[in-house]
Structure 1
Amino acid sequence: MRRAIDTLFGRLVVIVIGMLVLSHVAWFAIIRFERDNVQTRFAVEEAVFLVEAVRQHIANTPDQPLPPRVRVVGLESPDVPRQPDEDIPPPLQRFLEDLKDRLPDGTEVRLNEPGGPPSVWVHGAKDTGWIVVPVQPLRPPRSRDRMLVWLALIFSTAVLAALFGAWQLQNPLRGLAQAVQRFGRGQPTPPVPERGPRELRQLTHGFNQMVREVSQTENDRAVMLAGVAHDLKTPLARLRLRAEMMDDEKMRDGVVRDVDSMAHIVDQFLVFAHDRPDGSEPVPVDEQCERIVRAYRAVSPGAQPVRLNLEAGPSFVLPAATLDRLLSNLLDNAHAYGAPPVVIETRRDAKGWVLSVADHGKGIAPDDLIKASRPFVRLDPARGGSGHSGLGLAIVERLARRVGGECEIGNRAEGGLRVAMTFPFEVATQPLAERRAGPQHEERAL
């Protein structure tokens, strides 16, 4: 099961959002702390200014009335608040300490009793009474902190911009990853657009260059192999004709068998070298398997029995020519090296449609399974005769990958070899026009 966190985009999103959350929380805490400090400093300066203004007023114009909420109270007045205790809140404690630092030494500072308008009582060494001045509340009540609204707006904008940037960064990588996957499956791989950061452009350029060189090498090998195989067809036909005219029946049969084996090898060369998209009509796999098995039994009456276990239904379709070549190679391989019965099975699973062919022989040694699909590799020296070139399973794997499938070769627990081909749902139902379009259509899709 794919998880979003496993993708580059998902991890970039988690990292970016995590960093944004951390930075916004830190900035919010710093701003709140600095705002409290500024508010305290402002209240201290305001109180100091008012106290000095009252002192100047008393000294210069004692007959003039004082401003509202500013007054002078006698030292023995019962309204004088008590000495502040040590359990006052930290903001008020910091305010009192800062205010004492700004006033002359020996100045006594008290806060009014709770419940009244916020004010501060100041008595200096030369004052004849308590000077009472108003102060601003250190934390005025607010129904909603507008800073949180602004932070939420900035955070949302930053997240959207970060998501867009992460998508812009991972989009070229996703295209490159899809191209690498296609190239690994042996499917036609059009050039990947070179975009993104410089390192990514260099990586894409190197991949495109590698694909071109590998494709050119494959094309040269295919042309050479197809040319040799095609040129051998004519002398083989002449050799067979001459063998038919031989008088010695035993020698004639032996030569004819050798010519047929060589012709089979040539046909395998041509199939292996064929590298164009299959443009044949898609057919239901279950129905075509039944027809191929009936034809196989009719042509080879002495061949191993073949059992059918077809459960895919009519929705599973593949190009007719590809399906014929897949089954013919697998049946020939099972007939040559396996043991009866041969079982052809189709079904649907979570990954796609599955087509498998299994026999009940000895199978392949576990150490040789990885080499089973390599071209021109014979796992057993005895397999070199009877027209076998080591291309059977290589052709099967190449044909399966060419139509977008995956081929898995393994041994059955009960004994025997099993070749299972899995075709994704969108590939097994691909329209004929898209199959015939080949690489051009795929390049436009990318």
Structure 2
Amino acid sequence: MRRPIDSLFGRLVVLVIGVLVLSHVAWFTVIRLERDQTQTRYAVEEAAFLVDAVRQHIANSPDQPLPSSVRVVEPSSPDVPKPFTDVDTNRMPASFGRFIDDLRDRLPDGTDVRVGEPGGPPRLWVRGAKDANWIVVPVQPLRPPRSRDRMLLWLAIIFSTAVMAALFAAWQLQTPLRSLAQAVGRFGRGEPTPPVPERGPRELRQLTHGFNQMVREVEQTESDRAVMLAGVAHDLKTPLARLRLRAEMMDEAKVRDGVVRDVDSMAHIVDQFLVFAHDGADRSEPAEVDQQCERIVRSYRAVTVGAPSVQTRLTAGRDFALPAATLDRLLSNLLDNAHAYGAPPIVIETLRGANGWILRVMDSGSGIAAQDLIKASRPFVRLDPARGGSGHSGLGLAIVERLVRRAGGECDIRNREEGGLQITMTFPFDVVARSAEMLHGDELHEARMM
């Protein structure tokens, strides 16, 4: 099961949203704290200004009346509030307590600050060391911070806009990387790989340019090699045909049979060269793999002298279909390889796997040495030098792997625990589905026409 967080886009989304959430929460917290402190500082400065204004008024214009919200009270008045106690301080709201402390720090040393009795308008009673009377001024009410206000709305709008912009930027970065990853996958499977558009940051453009250049060089090298192999193989067919004709005209049967066998071995090698050099897509009609396997096994038993026992375990059903020519070449090469190097019985198996349809060919021989398994599918590699004269060029498994990859599948070569070699070819469901639709669509069309 694919997990979205495993992709580059998914991880960028998680990273971007996480960073934005942390930054916005920090920003909101700082703004709230700063707003509370600003409100407290403003109230402190306002109260200090009023107290100074009253003092100046008393000093300069004692005969002029004071504003109605401000008054001067004698120390002996019963209205003077009592000093703060620890209990009063604990009962006081935290914001108001900070306001009183900041106001005392703002006013000169020795200034007594008290708060009016609860129940009436909030008032401050201030008396400095040089003041004869108490100065009573109103207090600007400190609003407690609200849990929901317009800041949250603006925060949500800014956060949503930032997330959408960040996701768009992540998508713009992820798109060329995904295209490059898909192209690498196609190139690894041997499928045609068109040039990838060079988009994105400079480093990504450089990487894409290098990949496109590598693909062009590899394709040119493969094309040159295919042309060379096809040319050599094609040119050898005519002299081989003449050699066989002359061998058939020999009088001595023993020499004639030996020359004919050598010519046949050379012709088989030439045919393998031609198959390996063929680099075009298989345009043959699709066929049901189970039925085609049965037909190929019957033909193999009929035409191959001394063919070993071949068993079939075909359980895939009608939905497993592949191009007929590709399937013929796969099984022919694998059966020839098992006949030459393996031991009976040879088993051909089809089944539905977890990741795709499986075609498997097994023999009961000695298998391949563990250190040679990785070289088994390389072209022109013969693991046993003594096999060079038996009509084999080291292309059998290389042809199989190339055909499987060209059909969109994967090939796995390993030894069996019971003994012998096992070649497992896995074809993804979506790749096989196209062939199956072509096959069953044609059958349905023919049934309707009848």
- Provide TM-score, normalisation by structure 1: 0.91
Q: Look up the equivalent residue of 1:51 and give its one-letter code.
A: V
Q: C-alpha separation between the residues in 1 aligned to 2:247 and 2:4?
A: 67
Count of equivalent residues: 433
Tell me what 2:125 maps to.
121
- In the alignment, the residues of structure 2 paired with residue 271 and residue 185 of structure 1 have an alpha-carbon distance, to the nearest angstrom, of 18
Q: Which residue of 2 aligns with 1:207?
A: 211
* 1:370 pairs with 2:370: no
Q: Which amino acid aligns with 2:26?
A: A
Matches within 5 A, 1:354-369: 354-369=358-373
Matches within 5 A, 1:401-416: 401-416=405-420
Paired residue for 2:427, among 417, 423, 427?
Answer: 423
Amino acid at match of 1:206: G
Of 322, 327, 330, which aligns to 1:323?
Answer: 327
Aligned counterpart, 1:64 = 65
CA distance 1:115–1:280, change in 2 (3 Å): farther
Tell me if structure 2 keeps the 8 A contact 1:285–1:323: yes
Please give the alpha-carbon distance, in whole angstroms, between the structure 1 residues aligned to 2:306 and 2:403. Answer: 28
Q: Deviations over 1:239-263 (max 9, x none)?
A: 1111111111111111111111111
Task: Name stretches of at least 5 consecutive residues in structure 2 with no aligned partner.
Answer: 439-450
Residue of structure 1 in register with 2:388 after alignment:
384
- The C-alpha deviation readout for 1:81-115, integer Å capped at 9, x for no partner, is 33223444553343223212332332211223455
Shift of 1:14: 2.2
Query: Which residue, 157, 160, 169 being the options, matches 1:156?
Result: 160
- Indicate if the aligned counterparts of 2:321 and 2:436 stay in contact, CA closer than 8 A: no
Report the counterpart of residue 310 of structure 1 in structure 2: 314
Q: What is the alpha-carbon distance in structure 2 between the residues aligned to residue 350 and residue 116 of structure 1? A: 80
Task: Say whether the 8 Å CA contact 1:281–1:432 is kept in structure 2.
Answer: no
1:178 match: 182
Counterpart of 1:284, as a letter, is: E
Distance in 1 separating the partners of 2:8 and 2:104: 58
Distance 2:369 2:142 in 1: 84
Q: Distance in 2 between matches of 1:393 and 1:170?
A: 38
Which residue is 2:270 aligned to?
266
Give the one of 341, 357, 380 matched to 1:337: 341
Contact 1:279 1:432 in 2 (8 A): no
Query: Which position in structure 2 is the counterpart of 1:16?
Result: 16
SS in 2 for 1:312: coil
Query: Which residue type is aligned with residue 207 of structure 1?
Result: F
Mapped to 1, the partners of 2:84 and 2:360 lie a distance apart of 90
Give the partner amino acid of 1:66.
P
Q: Distance in 1 between matches of 2:429 and 2:82?
A: 85
1:105 aligned to 2:105? no
TM-score (norm 2): 0.91
The alpha-carbon deviation at position 337 of structure 1 amounts to: 0.9
What secondary structure, in the 3-state scheme, does the structure 2 residue paired with 1:83 have?
coil
**Which residue of structure 2 aligns with residue 439 of structure 1?**
none
Deviation at 1:132, TM superposition (A): 2.5
Alignment of 1:4-83 (within 5 A): 4-58=4-58, 60=61, 64=65, 66-68=67-69, 70-83=70-83
1:294–1:431 distance in 2 versus 1, CA, 3 Å: closer
1:93 & 1:320 partners in 2: Cα distance? 90
* SS of alignment partner, residue 425 of structure 2: strand
Q: Is the 8 A contact 2:319 2:436 kept in 1?
A: no
* Cα distance in 2, alignment partners of residues 252 and 71 from structure 1: 138
Aligned pairs (5 A) from 1:144-293: 144-293=148-297
Q: CA RMSD in A?
A: 2.1
| Structure 2: distance between partners of 1:98 and 1:161 | 44
Match of 1:442 in 2: none
**Matching residue's letter, 2:47:** A
Give the CA deviation at 1:186.
1.8
CA contact (8 A) 1:318 1:429 kept: no
Distance 1:112 1:374 in 2: 97
Is the 2:322–2:435 Cα contact (8 Å) retained in structure 1?
no
Determine helix, strand or coil for the equivalent of 2:219.
Answer: helix
**Percent identity over paired residues:** 76
SS of the aligned residue for 1:430 comes to: helix
Q: Distance in 2 between matches of 1:270 and 1:354?
A: 27
CA drift at 1:56 = 4.6
- C-alpha contact (below 8 Å) 2:127/2:134 kept by paired residues: yes
Kindly indicate whether the alpha-carbon contact (under 8 Å) linking 2:191 and 2:408 is maintained by their aligned counterparts in 1.
yes
Q: For residues 55 and 307 of structure 1, do their structure 2 counterparts lie closer, same or farther at Cα, with a shift above 3 Å needed? A: same
Mapped partners of 1:304, 1:239: distance in 2: 30
Q: Deviations 1:326-368 (Å, cap 9, x if unpaired)?
A: 1111111111111111111111122111111111111111111
Shift of 1:289: 1.0
